[in-house]
A and B are shown apart, each in its own frame.
Chain A
Amino acid sequence: MTRLGIGWLAVPACVFCLLVFALPLALLLLESLRDGQGWTLDGYRNFLGSAYSWQVTTRTLRLAVLTTLICIIIGYPAAFALARARGVWQALFVAALLLPLSLSVIVKAFGWTVLLRSNGVVNRLLMASGLTDAPMRLIFTETGLLIGIANIFLPFMVLPIFSVIRQIDPRLTDAAATLGAGPIHGFTRVVVPLTMPGVVAGVTLVFSMSIAAYVIPTLLMGDRYQTLSTTIATSFLYLQDPQRGSVAGVVLLVLSLLVVGASVVLARKVRATP
Chain B
Amino acid sequence: MTRGIGLAVAWFALIGCIVFLLAPLVVTVGVSLSPSPVFQLPQGEISWRWYERLGRLDGLLDSVLLSLQIAAFATAVSLVLGTMAAIAVVRGTFPGRETLATFLVSPLMLPGLVIGIAMLQCFRALGLRDALPSLLIAHVIVVLPFVMRTLTAGLSLFDFSLLDAARTLGLSYPKAVIRVMVPVLAPSFITGGLFGFLASLDNYPISIFLTDVYHRTLPIQLLQYLGESPDPTVAAVSTLIIAMTALLLIVGDRLVGLNRMAGV
A215 CB within 8 Å of chain B: yes
- Tell me the minimal C-beta distance from A267 to chain B in angstroms: 12
Whether the pair B140, A236 counts as a contact (CB closer than 8 A) is no
Which chain A residues (238-274) contact chain B, with CB distance < 8 Å?
242, 245-246, 249-250, 252-253, 256-257, 259-260, 264
Q: What CA separation (Å) do A208 and B109 show in the bound complex?
A: 6
Which residues in A have their C-beta under 8 angstroms from that of B198?
Answer: 102
In the complex, chain A residues whose CB is within 8 Å of the CB of B89: 10
- Can you list 27 pairs linking A and B with CB atoms under 8 Å apart? A3-B93, A9-B84, A13-B82, A20-B138, A20-B140, A21-B115, A24-B118, A77-B9, A80-B10, A96-B18, A103-B245, A104-B219, A104-B222, A105-B204, A106-B238, A107-B222, A107-B238, A110-B28, A111-B27, A113-B226, A159-B262, A183-B2, A184-B2, A215-B219, A237-B209, A246-B117, A253-B110
Q: Which of B52-60, B120-128, B181-189 contacts A (4 or more CB under 8 A)?
A: B120-128
Q: Per a CB cutoff under 8 Å, which of A74, A84, A245, A256 touches B17?
A: A74
Residue from B92, B109, B253 having most chain A Cβ neighbours under 10 A: B109
| Shortest distance from the beta carbon of A97 to any chain B beta carbon, whole Å | 7
Residue B208 interfacial (CB < 8 Å): yes
Residues of B within 8 A of A53 (CB): none
Cβ–Cβ contact B241 & A103, under 8 A: yes
The residue on A at minimum CB distance from B259 is: A94
Taking a contact as CB atoms under 8 Å apart, the answer to whether A236 and B209 are in contact is yes
A75 interface residue per 8 A CB criterion: yes
Residues of A within 8 A of B3 (CB): 183
Contact A21 B125 (CB under 8 A): no
Mark interface residues in A185-215 (1 if CB within 8 Å of B CB, else 0): 0010000000000000000110010011011
Distance (whole angstroms) from the CB of A155 to the closest CB of chain B? 7
Are B39 and A158 in contact, CB atoms less than 8 angstroms apart?
no
- C-alpha gap A127/B85 in the complex (Å): 56
CB contacts between A and B, total, < 8 Å = 285
A12 CA / B21 CA spacing, docked (Å): 39
Task: List residues 1-40 of chain B with CB under 8 A from any CB of chain A.
Answer: 2-3, 6-7, 9-14, 16-18, 20-25, 27-28, 31, 38-39
- Residues of chain B within 8 A (CB-CB) of A22 are 103
Judging by beta carbons under 8 Å apart, are B110 and A256 in contact? Answer: yes
| Interfacial chain B residues near A236, Cβ < 8 Å | 117, 120, 209
Contact between chains at A81 and B204 (CB < 8 Å): no
Known: A3-B91, A103-B241. A25 touches B114 (CB 8 A): yes
Q: Which residues of A from 86 to 105 have beta carbons under 8 Å from B? A: 90-91, 93-100, 102-105
* Shortest distance from the beta carbon of A242 to any chain B beta carbon, whole Å: 7
B253 to A: closest C-beta gap in Å: 8
